[in-house]
Amino acid sequence: MSIRRSLERNTGCRESIDAPENIFQTFPRMQFQISHKPSFSLLKLRLGPGQSIKSEAGAMVYMSSRMGVETKMGSGFLSALSRKIFGGESFFFNTYTAPDSGGEIGLAPDLPGDIIDLDLNGKSIFVQSGSYLASDPGIQVVSKFGGLRSLFGGEGLFLLEISGTGKVFLSSYGAIIPIQVEGNYTVDTGHIVAFENSLQFKVGKAGGNWKSTLLGGEGLVANFSGNGTLWIQSRVPSGFISWLTKLLPV
């Protein structure tokens, strides 16, 4: 696997290099490995005695024996409503803590796709609710609302504001593509994975009118402005569901 140079900008957010799949990368609070990239990625973590990792509920694939588990509800504006009812994801987080002998845990998202890790050095990013996979336990995760307009599109825009210092792991449906925004940029809301808080956004109609939105097969879009990194996914779950629905017998 090729080595990709780390991206570190004055925003304080860094994306790590790609490492060979048989190598665990070492971070101050954990060792981790992302294997089976890019289509069916699996996050493996080695935790020292008493070390913890926080993850989306339901993401655990396997774990060592005697690993402690604590479940808590997410915080923020309409967390339960926006994520459980509209977003379709759990609004609970699990914190796994290794025993005195240490331990290993494997995490994976529901959908096939990629996983990336980001270093947050005291900064914050906004993440589409379904793209959060795991983070250092000290990282703050708070639900945000993308505005009333996002309720009327095929993809509701419910965001998590993730801040602090440490590692965060994001997942996607399909490939994850980083984009350096300098000025204005428009993305279908369903394709958003995350973006830096240096970017401003407004949710609007594709093509600028409801006719294009309703008849043109396009949903709502996020119009970004400013300078910063935007991460998008190459596929969107609703598109696959629509395709699959057409194949079902009437």
Res. 17 pLDDT band, cuts 50 70 90:
low
- Rg from Cα positions in the chain: 18
2 occurs within a structural domain: no
Q: Any residues with CB less than 8 A from the CB of 109 and at least 6 apart, and which?
A: 41, 56, 59, 115, 130, 133, 171, 172
156 occurs within a structural domain: yes
Q: Letter for the amino acid at 16?
A: S
Rounded Cα distance between 78 and 245, Å, is 30
Interval 72-83: pLDDT, tens: 886 654 444 544
11 occurs within a structural domain: no
Strands 42-47 and 30-35: antiparallel
17 occurs within a structural domain: no
Residue 95's domain is classified under what CATH number?
3.60.160.10
Average pLDDT along the chain: 81
Verify cis geometry, omega within 30 degrees of 0, for the bond prior to 137: no
Strands 75-76 and 140-145: parallel
Residue of higher predicted confidence among 80 and 58: 58
Chain centroid to Cα 214, Å, comes to: 28
Interval 163-217: pLDDT, tens: 999 999 999 999 999 999 999 999 999 999 999 999 999 888 876 655 555 554 5
Residue of higher predicted confidence among 129 and 149: 129
What pLDDT score does 185 carry? 97
Res. 19 pLDDT band, cuts 50 70 90:
low
Range of lowest pLDDT (60-64, 80-84, 102-106, 233-237): 80-84
Name the nearest CA neighbour of 99 among 128, 63, 124. 63
Interval 172-182: pLDDT, tens: 999 999 999 99
pLDDT over 70 at 59, yes or no:
yes
User: Looking at the 3D structure of the chain, how many domains does it have?
Assistant: 1
4 occurs within a structural domain: no
Structure tokens at 165: 């210092």
15 occurs within a structural domain: no
pLDDT over 60 at 109, yes or no:
yes
Q: Residue 245 class from Cβ within 10 Å (0-12 exposed, 13-18 middle, 19+ buried)?
A: exposed
7 occurs within a structural domain: no
Placement of tokens 């190598």 in the chain: 23
6 occurs within a structural domain: no
What pLDDT score does 83 carry? 47
> What mean pLDDT do residues 141-156 have?
58
> What mean pLDDT do residues 55-77 have?
88
The domain in which residue 29 lies consists of 24-247
